[in-house]
A and B are shown apart, each in its own frame.
Chain A
């Protein structure tokens, strides 16, 4: 279950984004630099088309979680954001479709051909950068305090396909587009797809049964809390910023753990 610490990515990006790394290094003194801004679109805006692609991915790979429905969920991204009473709509040039939001801030995205044609956006009644989004795929009837690994595998594929992860640095968004696809992210130990438990976690264990044999393993410390390497400065770029104590990596890439593996949480506090 070895994996690459994301802090190295932060370092590499910082290095390569330094003025010495680009054409500016060759700029001669006295000549003003010209900067061309390609787009002012918020990098965390949610594209309706991409989210529908995520739903299509869910349909294609539903065998990973055959009994689970697909919902999406809004989660806090910045300190102090009010997560109560959020409203949501699909907004195109001529179409506006309200989307009901459940008390846990989850929702089902309706399919609408007009909104697809108009390349609509999915807009919430909060500043977009104040929240992050995830797919929520949960098999009914699991024991309390557990998840199912196949559900999480599918959450990753759908979440990446739908463009849900909200790392706020434009450079992160750029590199994400250049180097990653859902299969690359979700099938690699270095994919760095973050999951969030429902409460702060102290330990995460995997448990699978094969006949009379049971395999149980506790995740190493470096798979909790976004690797445990993030500085305050790094955290502002991570959509785990205000949920660090709920954050973990799951070995979704490791096929030696079957889809029916239970992911068990030991919480920091025994009662919610």
Chain B
């Protein structure tokens, strides 16, 4: 296939993929609920699933997992709440990223 044609087709596909604006991936949960429910060193993966359901996550070869939740912050903005789960299934760290506009 002609390389220029390939590049044009690929660019069109990529541009289409960029054209939408929506909430970022991850289950939406109110920030207060997350802060109250998730306690590093105590909360388990099973408890997270029971409380909030599945969400976007990455599982690593080490056995660690990173899960991300989105908290609506008004004006179409979302804060991120990220949870680190150790290989034993215990939450070991959490962090919050302040609200931003959704990815476009």
Binding site for B on A (CB under 8 A): 2, 4-5, 8-9, 12-13, 15-16, 21-23, 79, 175, 178-179, 190, 200, 202-203, 218, 220-222, 224-225, 228, 242, 244-245, 266, 268
Contacts and interface: CB of A to CB of B under 8 A. Distances in A.
Interface string B1-39: 101001101100110011000001110000000000000
B79 to A, nearest CB: 11
Closest 6 A/B residue pairs (Cβ): A245-B60, A8-B17, A221-B68, A12-B13, A218-B97, A225-B58
Given A202-B82, A218-B95, A221-B82, A12 B10 contact: yes
B69 to A, nearest CB: 10
Contacts, number: 81
B1 A22 contact: yes
Interface of B: 1, 3, 6-7, 9-10, 13-14, 17-18, 24-26, 56-58, 60-62, 64, 66, 68, 80, 82, 84, 93, 95, 97-98, 100, 103-104
Given A178-B6, A242-B61, A222 B95 contact: no
Given A22-B1, A203-B82, A221-B80, A16 B6 contact: yes
A2 B103 contact: yes
A245 B6 contact: no
21 contacts: A2-B103, A4-B14, A4-B17, A4-B18, A8-B17, A16-B1, A22-B1, A178-B7, A179-B10, A202-B66, A202-B84, A202-B93, A218-B95, A221-B66, A221-B68, A221-B80, A228-B58, A228-B66, A244-B60, A245-B61, A268-B64
A31 B26 CA distance: 50
Contacts of A228: 56-58, 66, 68
A167 B18 CA distance: 23
A188 to B, nearest CB: 12
Nearest to A229: B25
B32 to A, nearest CB: 20
A2 B58 CA distance: 20
B22 to A, nearest CB: 12
A178 B11 CA distance: 12
A4 B25 CA distance: 13
